[in-house]
Structure 1
Amino acid sequence: MMEIQWGAPVALREPQGGEIERFSTIEKARYWLKRRWPVADNAQLTALAKIDSAMDCIGPVEDARQAFCRAAISAGFTPARAG
Structure 2
Amino acid sequence: MEVTWGNPMTFVVSSQGDTQKISTIEQALYWLRKKWPIADRNRELALDQVDAAMHCLVTVGTARRAFLSAAKTAGFLPEHAGAETAPA
The alignment's TM-score, normalised by the length of structure 2, stands at 0.84
RMSD, matched Cα: 1.4
Query: After TM superposition, what 4+ stretches of structure 1 lie above 2 angstroms from structure 2?
Result: 2-5, 15-18
Alignment size in residue pairs: 81
Gaps of 5+ in 2: 83-88
* 2:23 alignment partner, SS class: strand
1:16 deviates by: 4.2
The alignment's TM-score, normalised by the length of structure 1, stands at 0.89
Deviates more, 1:61-70 or 1:8-17: 8-17
Gaps of 5+ in 1: none
C-alpha separation between the residues in 2 aligned to 1:14 and 1:38? Answer: 10
Equivalence for 2:17? 18
Matched-pair identity in %: 43
* 1:6 alignment partner, SS class: coil
C-alpha separation between the residues in 1 aligned to 2:77 and 2:18? Answer: 11
Contact 1:29 1:68 in 2 (8 A): yes
1:7 deviates by: 1.1
Name the structure where strand makes up a greater proportion of residues: 1
